[in-house]
Amino acid sequence: MAREAVGGGDNRHPRVRAVVYHHIQTAPYSPFNSTLKSIQEFVEEKVERNVLLRVIGSTADVGKIKEYRENLQQAVNQFTVSNLIHE
């Protein structure tokens, strides 16, 4: 489940995916992991909506997506610093 949120079938960045997946497995309650999990839950909820509700709700979703983008950038920055410290 967590691996799918990281990019499952995308082979362009295997080292990055491996590091992220390792981090998810070893620190499941980190801000990075909780951010990924909340994004995954949001996406799963939106995918389950029918097409009409997706169109109607898309405007409202823009603000939430922007918030997730900001949270993810912050979590990636923290993850990067943490990973550099522990290398």
Local confidence pLDDT in tens for the 87 residues of the chain: 444 444 444 555 677 667 767 766 766 667 778 888 888 888 888 888 888 888 888 888 899 999 999 998 998 888 788 778 876
- Residue 49 region, left (φ>0) first, then alpha (ψ -120 to 50), else beta? beta
Q: Which residues neighbour 39 within 8 Å (Cβ) at sequence distance 6 or greater?
A: 5, 68, 72
| Tally of CA atoms within 13 A in the half-sphere of 13 that contains its CB | 8
The pLDDT of residue 24 is: 67
DSSP state of 48: T
Q: CA–CA separation, 81 vs 85, rounded Å?
A: 6
